[in-house]
Structure 1
């Protein structure tokens, strides 16, 4: 049995690229949204049609979403956050330390709108970039596909629309 998890962030209330991503990928087994959904969390969950984990971003002003979340995906303990509280604009060290303090194998964040897959010895750090407002060179609308293979190992692919 394998599992497909879509990881997105920073949709900022605009769902056209989110819908395009779902049209391309098909229904995932799970969706993770790393904040700045700007009030669209219910619509995101409805469109995804699968279990959804969403955390609050710095632009989710009146949201009652959790700022941080620990979840289990297969054998992995995963720390979800938007990242702004961990100074991710200045690097990933503070986030990495926060993940390790929580016993996480993987930390996922957004906020910077710049994708990253950093598979370290202690913890893997992921940022899917932004589906709506990309900031990296080339300005591609990005997300990450996480696949758990039959042996329970995680694989990560940065995808562009």
Structure 2
């Protein structure tokens, strides 16, 4: 199974389209918020099951604040992250995932990519495809792959 993880597209679709076309085919798309009213477009573009949560800029959205999903028999929290202080430190969102017995967490908000194991919890922030803030400011996203044995590997990729 191949999973594309994106965040913070802020209604600007050009780089999202480029990432989708580059990584297709994939089995699931996860958007960690700040889609700004483009969720129907994202679902149509992906042509696969999508998990899209609301971010701090998704005003008047009917999207869920967060979701728990299963990937290869492992439980993941999907959230934007702003309720957990991710701009200062990712430990709050990691602790929330742990308190829910999750194996990992997908989040956004900072526009800076993260892919690390924090005390047994996989923490993934794909960064931003529209307004990257990390050194070099390259648009980024994450790709995860699962094996039949339930192993999950992945990485941050850049446009």
Aligned length: 159
Report the 3-state secondary structure (helix = DSSP H, G, I; strand = E; otherwise coil) of the residue aligned with 1:89. Answer: coil
**1:157 pairs with 152, 155, 158, which one?**
155
Q: Does structure 2 conserve the Cα–Cα contact (< 8 Å) formed by 1:27 and 1:50?
A: no
Per-residue CA deviation, residues 48-72 of structure 1 (Å, 9 max, x unaligned), is 0000000000000010111111010
Matched, 1:54 2:55: no
Q: Which residue of 2 aligns with 1:92?
A: 90
In structure 2, what is the Cα distance between the partners aligned to 1:133 and 1:18? 12
In structure 2, what is the Cα distance between the partners aligned to 1:121 and 1:95? 13
TM-score w.r.t. the length of structure 2 is: 0.98
Report the 3-state secondary structure (helix = DSSP H, G, I; strand = E; otherwise coil) of the residue aligned with 1:133. Answer: coil
Unaligned runs of 5+ in 2: none
Unaligned runs of 5+ in 1: none
In structure 1, what is the Cα distance between the partners aligned to 2:43 and 2:79? 18
Q: Which residue of 2 aligns with 1:126?
A: 124
